[in-house]
Each structure stands twice: as C-alpha cells, then as structure tokens.
Structure 1
Amino acid sequence: MKAYKGMAIVTGASGNLGRAVTKKLIDEGFFVTGTTHTKAPASLAFPADKFEGIEVDLANEEAAQKFVGDTIAKHKKIDIAILTVGGFAMGKIADTKTSDIATQYKLNFETAYNVARPVFAAMLQQNNGRIFLAGSKPGLDARNSKGMVAYGLAKSLLFRLAELMNEEAKGKNVVTNVIVPGTIDTPQNRESMPGAQFDKWATSAAIADIIYWYATANAATIREAVVKVYNNS
C-alpha cells in the first residue's frame, strides 16, 4: 500500500461534518476509512486509493467492533478517530419518555462508544492516538438543553466518557477531545432557518481544520480539550 502520513477513521463520513473532516484528512495525506449507515450509500466522491467507505450499523456493538478490528488488521494502526455520528430530537420533560431517552442514548452515545472503546484499546497498545467525540451545547450545559431533554442527556455522556478515557490514558500519548459545534452552516440548517445570519455560523470545513490541528504535533502538549467551535452562533 502507498505510504500515507497516517490512518484515520471517520464515522458518519456521508454527513456534512464527516465529509469535511474526511476531505481535510485526505488533503493532509491520510488514508481514511469512513463509515455510513447501512441504509446510506457507501460510495463517496473521494479518491479510491485514499478512502474506503464501509457500511456499518454502529449501534450494533458487534458490528462496530468488527469494523474496528478489520480496519486495524488491514492498516496495522489507527492514528485518529473522529466520531461524528449522532442525531437530534426536541422534547420537554413532560413530553419525554424513557423510550425517547433510550433512542437518543443509542443514537448519540452508543454509536460513539461502540467505536471509541476498541479504538481506545488499540491506541493504548500502540501508545499513540487522538480520538474526537462530537459533543453539543445542550450536552455541555444542561441549561442549553431546555426543550431537548433526551438529546441533551445523551450528549452529556460523551463529555463524561472523554474524562474517563483521559484518566485511563494518563502517561500514554493517547488523548480524547470533545468538539462542541455551534450551529453548523449546512444546506439543511439554512433551509430550516432561512432568516438566520449564516455568516455567524461555523462551516464544516472550518471545524474540520480545527479538529485536524488538534490532531497534529502542534497540539501535542494539549490534554483533555473541550473545543467550542461556535463562531458567533
């Protein structure tokens, strides 16, 4: 296989942020293995010699572990893992059932944990690696999750997970960071909020640039970062 700067996993590679992160990594010389949901197309517009698309249901623990294991077997290591899969739902406490919380938990936490756990174990063995979890404002501060209870509770667990992983990784060159976007400038968000000031939002490309910087030697001494990428949103 052609020599690359490194090997990266991007979950949700067919999403707006996932595509931007994948492009950034490829442009910087990485080989990227990107996941899509089993109902989504795995063929994305990236060079075949620099990108591999895998259809996998990350809510299925065994499938996610097999995906990580197969990736390591093929590429020998994982240098960076950026886990962007998730979903959103509105709902006040009065309207939120435990089943609603379970749905958001599975979508936002389990899909991240099922990949992060085997990736983290592999990175500890190789004593090197960077993991990025996709947080949110509602997950960071409960006051921001008013009206979106299940989503906020599920996302909040990603911050606790990052803390636990960083505690276990002390003394190793393995770091888990949480990226906290504000409103991302996507076609979907523009359509749903046509009267908004789009220039105040953060673009997916800008977020991808920041994630990549935190994965480079420039950020080697930074530990346990919670990176708020809000722009002026």
Structure 2
Amino acid sequence: MSLHTALVTGASGNLGIAVVQAFAAHNFQVYAFVHHIKQNDIPSNYITPIALDLLNEAACSNQVQAIAQSNGSIDVAVLTAGGFAMGNIADTDSKAIQQQIQLNFETAYHIARPVFLQMLQQKKGHSFFIGSKAGLDTRHANGLTAYGLSKSLLFRLAEVMQAEAKGTDVVIKVIVPTIIDTPQNRADMPNADFSKWTTPEAIAAIIVEQAIAAPTNGEMVVV
C-alpha cells in the first residue's frame, strides 16, 4: 500500500519543520521544499528535502507534476513559506507591497495552483494556506500595510478554489495562527506573555488532524 503524500513549503522555518515532522510521524511521505538543502537536511524513510525556488512558477509546476506521477496522487499540501514586514502607509511604497505579495502570495500560488489541478483530477485532497489576523481582517493591519494586504490575497484565493472544487472532496482551508511561539518572536517581543502564544507543534498537530478528518470545505481554522 502506497503512503499518503504531503508537500510542505517553507520546510526549514519554525512552523514548516513542525509540520514536516508531524506528517512524517503519521507515516506520510513528506516532500519538504526548502530554498537550499543544508547538510542536516538528510532524507529519511518519510522525509525528502527538495531545493526549490518558489518564485519560479515553471519549476514549481514541474516539481509538483513529478511528485504526482511518482506517487500516483498528492494528498496534502501545507504552504507555510512567507515573510513579514512592518510599515504603515507612509512607510509603504508599491515596491514594498510587491515584495510582500511575492513572499506571501506568489510563493503559495506557484505550488497551490498545480497541486489544486492535480487534486481536481483525483477529486480529493487537502490544501492549507497559512493566513494571519492582519490578512483576515485588515483593520488589524495597522502598521502592517504590505503584510496585511499580501496575506489577505490568500483568503480570497481559498474562496475561489473552494468554489471551483464544489462537488468534490478537494478541501481548501486557511489556518489563522495567533502569535507563533518562536525564538525570533520572543526576541522581538521580550515583554510579551508567551503563555498566550501558540507553538509551531500545536499548529502542526491541528493541521494533521484536519488533513485526516472527513472533508469539510470552506473553513478557516483559528489557532
């Protein structure tokens, strides 16, 4: 019996690492997309690191197609790659907005599109975008102009895909984390109450739980 297949972008980040490990622990064959393969990115029975430029649309499409052909299907995609930037409107020119759109939307779309087309052929599969409160409701994007606008596109893309997938078991969900408990965030906000933050491992566990649950489309999951 072939293993279920999961693709994870941003697999070298705090959340990406947790997601990769969580799916591997559930015996998924995980393809971990990283920008550069490091010495400690060693393939295991369940994890295959792949160096991929997520801004190269053709390379992303070819890689997804190769994985689908090799495994027969793609069951899950978790798109954690992205970036963050501060800045109010006075500080944010169109170049800054475009940079955030590239980091948070294009890197997701270049994988999400070929994965979605594959899942439509299969008539099943789960894709997860990583949203944010600033993207869900841009009234929370005060001081986060470019970031909030770029993340908001993921919610709109999810809605479009959900509409196109109607009548199938292709599921598109947006995970909306609170502040993620990472060393970087602790360093940036040393006086915060870390007990109110969510760990990458807790988010990863929820994503796995959602991925193996019965298909229910059109949801946002706030964690």
User: What range describes the TM-score normalised by the shorter chain of this pair?
Assistant: over 0.9
Cα distance in 2 for residues equivalent to 1:43 and 1:140: 36
In structure 2, the CA distance between the partners of 1:115 and 1:221, relative to structure 1 (3 Å rule), is closer
Alignment check: 8 A CA contact 2:125 2:171 kept: yes
Shift of 1:44: 2.6
Cα distance in 1 for residues equivalent to 2:74 and 2:168: 15
Alignment check: 8 A CA contact 1:139 1:154 kept: yes
Secondary structure of residue in 2 paired with 1:202: coil
Is structure 2 residue 28 aligned with structure 1 residue 34?
no
1:62 to 58, 62, 67: 58
Secondary structure of residue in 2 paired with 1:227: strand
Cα distance in 2 for residues equivalent to 1:44 and 1:16: 14
Shift of 1:50: 0.8
Cα distance in 2 for residues equivalent to 1:42 and 1:134: 27
How many residues are paired up? 223
Shift of 1:119: 0.2
Q: Which aligned pairs between 1:143-182 and structure 2 lie closer than 5 A? A: 143-182=139-178
2:123 to 127, 133, 156: 127
Alignment check: 8 A CA contact 1:42 1:54 kept: no
Look up the match of 2:196.
200
Q: TM-score by structure 1 length?
A: 0.92
Cα distance in 2 for residues equivalent to 1:134 and 1:150: 16
Counterpart of 1:182, as a letter, is: T
Cα distance in 1 for residues equivalent to 2:142 and 2:112: 28
CA RMSD of aligned residues (A): 1.4
Structure 2: which 5+ residue stretches go unaligned? none
Cα distance in 1 for residues equivalent to 2:126 and 2:108: 14
Alignment check: 8 A CA contact 1:131 1:176 kept: yes
Look up the match of 1:86.
82
Look up the match of 2:111.
115
Is structure 2 residue 217 aligned with structure 1 residue 223?
yes
Alignment check: 8 A CA contact 1:162 1:176 kept: yes
Shift of 1:30: 0.5
2:14 to 13, 16, 23: 16
Cα distance in 1 for residues equivalent to 2:77 and 2:195: 29
Post-superposition Cα deviations, 1:78-101, rounded to whole Å, max 9, x if no partner, equal 100000000001111111111111
Counterpart of 2:171, as a letter, is: V
Structure 1: which 5+ residue stretches go unaligned? none
Shift of 1:42: 7.2
- Percent of residue pairs bearing the same amino acid type: 51
Shift of 1:72: 1.2
Q: TM-score by structure 2 length?
A: 0.96
Cα distance in 2 for residues equivalent to 1:111 and 1:60: 9
Shift of 1:43: 4.2
Alignment check: 8 A CA contact 1:42 1:55 kept: no
